[in-house]
Amino acid sequence: MSCQTATSGNTTLTHSSSLDVTDAADLFGNGNNNSSGGGGISHFALSELTSGINFDDYLAELEDRMANESPVDRMDEDGGDVFAQLQQKERDLMLAAELGKALLERNEELAKRQEVLAKSYSARVEELEADRHSLKRRLDAIEGDYEGRLSELQNDLTHVQKELRQKQHLFREVEEDRSRLVTELTEQNQRLTLQLKETQVSESFLSAEVEKYKEQFTARKDTVTDHTRQLELLKEEIAVLTDKKNDCERRMQNFTAERDTLRHSLEEAKEQIMALERRNRDQEYRIVLQDRDLIELRHSNSRLEDHVEELMSLSGSSPSQGTSLLNELEAAQSVVSGSDFLADHYLGNKSTGNGSCIDDDDSPASITHEIAHDYKLTQDLMNTYEQLQKVCTSLLNRENDGTAEGVDVDTVRPMIEELKTFIHDISRRQNESEFAAKAELKTIIRDLDLERDKVKLVQEQLDAQNAKYKSREEDIESLTADLSLRDTELLALRAENARLKQEQAQQEINQDEIVKRAREDRDQAISRQNILELEGTRAKTDFRSLNMQLMEAIQQKIELSQQLEAWQVDMQSMLNDQLKERLHQEEQKRRKYKEDMAEQKLKAKKFALW
């Protein structure tokens, strides 16, 4: 807007200046016409008259005078002094001429300034348009980046929300398992408490029976019915002990089932370790194959470099000699045969490598993609060698025709140098793939060592648990031995009962002998009662120790299950991290491989154009 205003102002000023110049020219013409009658005035006189006169003051004075002059005054002046009027007009004429010249110069200066301003304005407008276009392009690019970033963030957000839902679901399942386990343990504890109360009741009942037996023995009421009642009580006690034995056997079966589950988990861990070791062996086998392929490629590379050096040495000789052209042709054919061997060997190694050991993470699509790229690369190499063979054949034909004197052998050198760089790129990529495989093998070995340490820790815990199980089995065996002893005592009591019945049948026995035998039986019953009391207290202590061991086993089982869950979570996270890292590395390798293939295609196109 400022430039337009300045331009309009300059146009107005130029127009006004041109009007002033036109008026001055008219005035100058009138002055010449008027002064033609009275004689001309020299330039020297004009300069003398105009010297020391200000044009602005003169114009102001002239305008005031023209405004103040009336027609009557002008007629009076016409009748006055003509010479004074002529001098005045000559003076006005010279001043008008100078004024017109100054106005013309000022008009030209303003026109030049207007052109400069117009050029600067157009240049500034072009710069502003270019800046506006660049800013618009940058704005479009930023909007595209923003939309892409926004879509990526939305995808990440959905993925994170999905993982969060999965974690929450797993957490709810774990909480449900935990609550169920707590309820089971609570029920088991209540059941054990009830059993303990029942044993206490039975113990009190047994103590009451013992007191009753004492009273009976003090009252000397040793009859067959008393022996029968005692036998029944012993049978009941044996039944109680048998129930305890069955309970202990059932617990032992539960412990055995838990031990089997732990062994099964240990076997699964061993299978995972074996899978990792098998994967490690496959990786080592692949590295060995890659080392062998690398050695063979280096041998073929050295052989090709020797052929290339021979070609370079042959190309450095005089092109007019027939023997040098023949040697170049033979060397080129040997290079082509070496390239055929390199292509066949490279494709064969790729096929055997892919067929021998394929990693579990490698999909058939990725393997087919790599084989297709390698085959395409080999085809480009073969096409380049075929072109080189054609050039050498044409050189040989020219030599045989006698026209090889004007052939420049140096044209083959750029192709040979390009071929050298191509072979070095192949060896460099092979070294990079070998280095990546070795790094991956190191990570797998480190993970395998960690898994072995964890399995050793679980094995030690299982050994400790087995030792505890063995001690419990020994306790159960001791209880079984006690039950067998009680069975023998029961048999002895039955035999004694039969004997007493036989004695009752014998009515010829004296009362003294009966009393004596009753006392002996009383003493034996008291001793047996004491023995049974001792065995009852021992069984009670064993029962308490078994309860404590059972609670410890349950606590250890809970801890082992928690450790196993934590180990599984760690393994899953570690496998996920390794999978992400591997996918990232594969993506980088594919990008790099695509870039290398694009460069090689450009090089092949250069060869084809040549």
Among 102, 124, 143, the domain boundary falls at 143
The pTM (predicted TM-score) of the whole model is 0.24
Establish if 51 belongs to a structural domain: yes
Q: What is the pLDDT of residue 438?
A: 67
Residue reference for tokens 């690369």:
377
In a domain? residue 228: no
Count how many domains the chain has. Answer: 2
216 belongs to a structural domain: no
Instruction: Point out the domain boundary residue: 107, 122, 143.
Output: 143
Q: Kindly state whether residue 455 falls inside one of the protein's structural domains.
A: no
| CATH number of the domain that residue 411 is part of | 1.20.120
Residue 148 lies in a domain: no
Mind listing the pLDDT tens digit for each residue in 227-276? 667 777 777 777 777 787 777 778 777 777 777 777 777 777 778 778 77
Range of the domain at 88: 2-143
Instruction: Spell out a b/e string for 221-236, using b for 16 or more CB atoms within 10 Å of the CB, else e.
Output: ebeeebbeebeebbee
Return the axis-axis angle of helices 2-35 and 82-218, rounded to nearest 10°.
Answer: 180
Mean pLDDT for all residues in the chain = 67
pLDDT at 326: 45
CA 145 to mean position of chain CA atoms = 21
Residue 551 clears pLDDT 70, i.e. is over it: yes
DSSP classification of residue 410: G
In a domain, 458, yes or no: no
Helix, strand, coil distribution of the chain in percent, nearest 5: 95, 0, 5
Residue 25 belongs to some domain of the structure: yes
Note the pLDDT of residue 321.
Answer: 41
Mean pLDDT of 525-554: 77
Among residues 567, 555, 471, 552, the alpha carbon closest in space to that of 265 is found at 567
Give dist(CA 535, CA 138) in Å, integer: 96
pLDDT digits (tens, 9 = 90+) for 595-609: 887 887 777 666 555
Instruction: Give the confidence band of 323 by pLDDT, cuts at 50, 70, 90.
Output: very low
What is 251-296 written as a DSSP string?
HHHHHHHHHHHHHHHHHHHHHHHHHHHHHHHHHHHHHHHHHHHHHH
Q: Does 581 have pLDDT greater than 70?
A: yes
Taking alpha carbons only, the member of 207, 208, 19, 209 closest to residue 99 is 19
Predicted pLDDT of residue 233: 78
Question: Considering 81, 112, 143, which residue would you say is the last residue of a domain?
Answer: 143
- Does the pLDDT at position 440 exceed 50? yes
Q: Are 273 and 451 spatial neighbours (Cβ–Cβ below 8 Å)?
A: yes
Give me the helix-helix angle, 364-401 and 322-356, nearest 10°: 170
Residue 15 covered by a domain: yes
Residue 342: pLDDT band (50, 70, 90) is very low
pLDDT of 209 strictly over 70 = yes
